[in-house]
Chains A and B, each alone.
Chain A
């Protein structure tokens, strides 16, 4: 190792420390923004010292970085906050394909690999490929470009298991003789298998399970970078990749717990493919529709109001009007808070970001475990586009597919107002027992238009 190599590696140590500090600062809203900048500084440092190395071909580097920066910046500043899940999925997939390409390029240039390097090259290419197509499918589902329902096909598990076994078999043969002509063919086969596996393993997973999938793909992209680090013996790739891998696994675990399901169940069961025909017959009863005026009188008289947002809030782009209504209620002397279920929306923390965009102060956002114990003293719960996460069947009906999932126990509030387009069941395809409770009023219509009508009532009464 010559002097400049030692210098570069020393700078990588500093970069790793900056990533660690950055992630640590992300754990509090007060320091999170600086944390992200610290982490970005670590990345910048790593890039700059890498570019100082001898013998680099700058024309390709400048071309690649210019194109990448332009695309990245435009995408980051154009994207709507409601579309954040698909943006993250897309970026994630690009990280995955980069790891695949890096491993391929390395193998193409130096086919005489040791068995260990060949194995990690396989891992980098395979995980990277799965991350790429898996993220693209997730993107397609989130952006509504492909069917968001779980798509099940015959022999699905057999096909997935077959692809996986084939890939492992190819990897064993490849790592024994990477330099032979057959080795190159095997490597290409591994890439094709990885790309197919990403599609076949993600397509059966339905829209509301996306928080789990995105977390998991996030973890994969870190692990792919990590494997790429082993291929080129680069510490910073290994450390940074491992940090991301670990963070993705933790988020995946939190999301699964919030749905009371195992990861295997989320990945393999095709949950949500059942249509409303299957369930929902039992829980019928009378529903009580309310007009904007009715809801206005209920809210006007309330001392405490808790908004419970769900994916419908994002679809209707209703976050700004909700905040406006919240401000009017506060001006009226009502205590306002926003209760957020961990899997509300399409990615972890999705609702928090939307409400932050609408300038809702983060100290008004409360977690499920904080609101449930004091739900009995809440006057009014306003459910906006949330469904399964407030369904009391999860607590009471053992035959329900979502039985056991922790929910925001809105039904215990004195009055529940549900904003909903129509009586269609939620993602899980099950009828919501909450709608038939005696203390529930249904306020039908587009969430944004409904809330605007309420705001008009409040303003009209002044």
Chain B
């Protein structure tokens, strides 16, 4: 039953994703890509939850590695997207001159 319920959530989220993204103008494609890339670092949540005190040795090692990589993805992704978006300015905001 759990599998059915999770699949249900998955299918709805895919449709929602298609709806949301199809409206992004091409000038924002790079920030969209790096911003959504940061979201894909959500694996971090799973990696954090997997590091439990009763897990030792190799499991803890794999979990720690996963946390490191996912954190780079999340922190780096959001930071670099923010840096890019800071630069998008309109003319009357003083961008031109």
Binding site for B on A (CB under 8 A): 19-20, 22-24, 26-30, 32-33, 35-37, 39-40, 43, 46-47, 50-51, 53, 55-57, 60-61, 63-65, 67-69, 71-73, 75-77, 79, 81, 84, 87-88, 91-92, 94-95, 97-99, 101-102, 104-106, 108-109, 116, 214-215, 218, 221-222, 224-226, 228-251, 254, 327, 330, 340, 342, 347-350, 352-353, 356-357, 359-365, 367
Contact = CB atoms under 8 A, between A and B. Distances in A.
Given A26-B35, A243-B16, A245-B14, A349 B26 contact: yes
Contact of A32 (B23, B77, B85): B85
B62 A108 contact: yes
Contacts of A250: 17-18, 21-22
5 contacts: A55-B52, A71-B76, A243-B16, A246-B14, A246-B15
Contacts of A244: 17, 36-37, 39-40
Contacts of B55: 57, 109
Contacts of B72: 68, 71-72, 75, 91, 94
Given A98-B41, A102-B63, 18 more contacts: A20-B16, A26-B24, A47-B44, A50-B49, A68-B68, A84-B84, A91-B38, A105-B50, A106-B50, A109-B55, A116-B3, A244-B39, A246-B15, A349-B26, A349-B33, A352-B29, A353-B30, A363-B90
A124 B26 CA distance: 30
Interface string B50-74: 1111110011101111111111111
Contacts of B43: 95, 98-99, 102, 224-225, 228, 237
Contacts of A108: 58-59, 62
Contact of A51 (B24, B32, B48, B71): B48
Contacts of A231: 46
A431 to B, nearest CB: 28
Interface size class of B (residues with CB under 8 A): 35 or more
Contacts of B46: 102, 228-229, 231-232, 234, 237
B56 to A, nearest CB: 9
Contacts of A362: 27, 88-90, 95
B76 A247 contact: no
A72 B32 CA distance: 18
A39 B40 CA distance: 11
Contacts of A99: 43
B27 A352 contact: yes
B33 A218 contact: yes
Contacts of B91: 361, 363-364
B14 to A, nearest CB: 5
Nearest to B60: A60
B30 A84 contact: yes
